[in-house]
Amino acid sequence: MALERLKRLAQGFLPTPAQAAAIRWRTPAVVDRGRIGEARVALDRHGRGVLLWENAGKLWTMPMGPGASPALMRLPFGDGTTPRLALNPEGRGLAIWLADGEDERQILGAVLGPGESPGRSVFRTVGRIHQLQVAVDRRGNALVAWVHERVGQIEVMAHAFNTRGEAWDEAPVLLGLPGDPSASPQLAANRREHAMVVWEAQNSVFEGLMACHYWPADRIWSDRPVPVVAHAARHHQVAMDDSGNALALWVHAPYGQRSLLEASFYEALHGEWSEPVVLASAHVMSSPRLVMNGDGEALAAWSQRENAGVSRLLVKAFKGRGWEPGAECLDHGHEPVQDYAIDLAEDGRAGFVVVQRGATGDQVSVRIREDGWSLPRTMGSAPGSVCAAPRIALSPQGASLIWIQGEGDGRSLVLTDSH
């Protein structure tokens, strides 16, 4: 079995020394070619991890990071699409994905790390599944959230996996009825398995963001969702620290007015969300991202544009339960930004990868924040072609970047990591 082979290979990794301050990147390599779909990458605290991706309805996986074999070793993972991956600092985690049957669709899940198991059915339906997400705690317990769309009803659902019995709970839990398939629930969890799901709600009596909380001691979700903000909020993000405090970030765009980037802080001790604060305003605000580590440090990133001007990517830091003054521009040059990703490690290092379109094709570049943000470093380019779906994963002892290059059946999955 591919999972067993992956486990044996992971157990054979040698410990790696602490990484020097400056990341040394390997030469980017093509992992796979074909009709590449979604891809995910995750690292543990030693910089070792897993790459999981789809190619033409088949899933593949590969161990990676410092200590892994220099040779690229692809392992078949079965049929499926929409892979998702979560790995804790100890190297335990969960992979989930979607699989189609003759007359139904199901979510499948498989444990990664010690005690790996073959894929098991998590949820079956004749309806549609959107916004699939997964998170794991320090023991490897996992939570999965998704939108279930069926005739006449839209449901936000969640399911829990417990490592003690190596089993899923009896049935998924219905968290809310947002009424719109674009509700975009966002799952945030910490290493202690405190968690919440936040989604967009819009009906005749309420418009805004709603949250449902998970209590790990009793392994139950709150019996009713609570409001986060009571006005229109789009493109929201949510993240949580190891104390159970959380941040929510969203775009508020009143008709005919400037767009606002707003945020709210959830204080676990009192169980309350703060009044929203405005982080930025612009004619057009889009693509917000939010990352947070266990110590409560966070980064918010977003794109903004004034009228017909050039879009700029900005980042703002959160520390000590407050937003630091000012924001820093991260993109370079005047090339249009196609996509970007950001990550924040437990030691406070941050990484930013961006795809920009130039006159001769797309280019992928990266910046790393230690004492300050480094200068951009070009990691790859696609002369006469396109790049998409960049992702970055950081740990105290490693870093990995992936992106997809090309179009149609000629797409390539490209990887580079530290050494």
Question: Is the per-residue pLDDT at 2 higher than 70?
Answer: no
Residue pLDDT, tens place only, 273-295: 999 999 999 999 999 999 999 99
Query: In this predicted structure, what is the pLDDT of residue 72?
Result: 67
C-alpha distances in Å from residue 138, one per residue of 55, 108, 130, 190: 31, 22, 27, 8
Query: In this predicted structure, what is the pLDDT of residue 333?
Result: 66
Please tell me the pTM assigned to this model. Answer: 0.91
Question: For 253, phi and psi rounded to 5 degrees?
Answer: -125, 80
Average pLDDT of span 4-29: 56
Q: How many residues does the chain have?
A: 419
Average pLDDT of span 45-56: 94
pLDDT above 90 as % of the chain: 73
Q: Give me 336's structure tokens.
A: 């249009």
Average pLDDT of span 181-207: 89
Query: In this predicted structure, what is the pLDDT of residue 71?
Result: 58
Q: How confident is the model at residue 403 (pLDDT cuts 50, 70, 90)?
A: very high
What does pLDDT average to over the chain? 89
Closest CA to 203 of 219, 235, 227: 227
Q: Give me 347's structure tokens.
A: 């030691």
Query: In this predicted structure, what is the pLDDT of residue 126?
Result: 95
Query: In this predicted structure, what is the pLDDT of residue 101?
Result: 83
Closest CA to 93 of 214, 189, 198: 189
Query: In this predicted structure, what is the pLDDT of residue 332?
Result: 67
Question: Is the per-residue pLDDT at 51 higher than 90?
Answer: yes
Question: Is the per-residue pLDDT at 177 higher than 60?
Answer: yes
Higher pLDDT, 331 or 3: 331
Q: Give me 355's structure tokens.
A: 């795809």
Estimate to the nearest angstrom the gap between the alpha carbon of 52 and the chain centroid.
13
Q: How confident is the model at residue 14 (pLDDT cuts 50, 70, 90)?
A: very low
Q: How confident is the model at residue 69 (pLDDT cuts 50, 70, 90)?
A: low
Query: In this predicted structure, what is the pLDDT of residue 151?
Result: 86
Q: Which helix (H) or strand (E) holds 382?
A: strand 377-383
Candidate from 176-185, 340-349, 353-362 with smallest mean pLDDT: 176-185
Question: Is the per-residue pLDDT at 13 higher than 80?
Answer: no
Closest CA to 134 of 211, 60, 188: 188
Query: In this predicted structure, what is the pLDDT of residue 65?
Result: 66
Q: How confident is the model at residue 308 (pLDDT cuts 50, 70, 90)?
A: confident
Query: In this predicted structure, what is the pLDDT of residue 115?
Result: 53
Residue pLDDT, tens place only, 81-119: 999 999 999 999 999 999 998 889 999 999 986 555 668
Average pLDDT of span 305-328: 92
Question: Which residues contact residue 394 at a Cβ distance below 8 angstroms, ignoring those fewer than 6 apart?
Answer: 43, 343, 344, 345, 349, 350, 351
Query: In this predicted structure, what is the pLDDT of residue 18?
Result: 37
Query: In this predicted structure, what is the pLDDT of residue 117?
Result: 60
Between CA 147 and CA 128 the distance in angstroms is: 8
Closest CA to 353 of 388, 396, 309, 316: 388
Query: In this predicted structure, what is the pLDDT of residue 292?
Result: 97
Query: In this predicted structure, what is the pLDDT of residue 159?
Result: 96
Average pLDDT of span 207-228: 92
Query: In this predicted structure, what is the pLDDT of residue 299?
Result: 98
